[in-house]
Amino acid sequence: MTASRDTWNPDQYNRFQTERTQPFRDLVAMIAPGERMSVIDLGCGTGELTRELHQRLGAATTLGIDYSANMLAKAHQFAGGGLSFREGDLSTFESHDSYDLIFSNAAIQWAPDHPALLARLARSLREGGQIAIQVPANDDHITHEAARIVARRP
C-alpha cells in the first residue's frame, strides 16, 4: 500500500479509542489463556490494544498485522518483549506459521469473502488453538441507514 492511498489517520482513529476498548476487553475475557502462547492480531491499528492483549495473556510472541503504514508507524513504539508489528492485508492473510490464538477486534468486517478468510485462519491454528473475532453490530446505525438511502437513489 502506498502512502498516498493510506487514508487511515491514527489521530482520528484514537478519538474513538474508548468505543473500541470495551468490545476488545469483552473479547479478551472470552479467551482461554495458555502457556507461552503464540498470538496474531489481525487489524492491530495503532498497537495499544495489541500490547494490552500481549501483556494480559502473558504471550511468548504476538504479531500485530495492519494494512496501514500510518497506523503501524504508531504501533512500532510498543514493539519488544515478544511483541512485533508488520504490514499486511488481513483479507488475504495466509500463514505457514501456526498460532495458539488468532485475534481480530473490529477489523474483518472490512474484508471480503469471510468464508474463505475463516478457512485460511483455521488452517493457521495450532491444535487446540482459538480464533477470537469481534465485528461491530451496527447495521441499524444512522450512517448505515443513510448509505442505504443514498444507494437506492438513481
pLDDT at 1: 43
How many domains are contained in the chain? 1
Q: Is there a contact between 76 and 51 (Cβ–Cβ < 8 Å)?
A: no
Residues 42-88: tens digit of each pLDDT: 999 999 999 999 999 999 999 999 999 999 999 999 999 999 999 99
Residues 45, 66: contact at Cβ < 8 Å?
yes
Q: For residues 126 and 1, give the distance between their C-alpha atoms in angstroms, rounded to a whole number.
A: 30
With beta carbons less than 8 A apart as the criterion, state whether 54 and 83 touch.
yes
The residues pairing with 62 across neighbouring beta strands, listed in sequence order, are: 39, 83
What secondary structure letter does DSSP report for 75?
H
Q: Please give the residue range of the domain that contains residue 110.
A: 3-152
Quick one: how far is CA 99 from the chain centroid? 15
Angle of helix 48-57 versus helix 17-29 axis, rounded to 10 = 20
Identify the CATH number of the domain in which residue 39 sits.
3.40.50.150
pLDDT confidence of residue 79: 98
Q: What is the pLDDT of residues 91-139, one digit of tens each?
A: 999 999 999 999 999 899 889 999 999 999 999 999 999 999 998 776 6
The 10 Å Cβ neighbour count of residue 89 is 14
Residue 3 has pLDDT above 50, yes or no: no
Give me the phi and psi of 51, to 5 degrees please. -60, -45
> What does the pLDDT read at residue 144?
61
- The answer, yes or no, to whether residue 13 has pLDDT greater than 60, is no
pLDDT category at 154 given cuts 50, 70, 90 is confident
* Euclidean distance between CA atoms 28 and 65, whole angstroms: 17
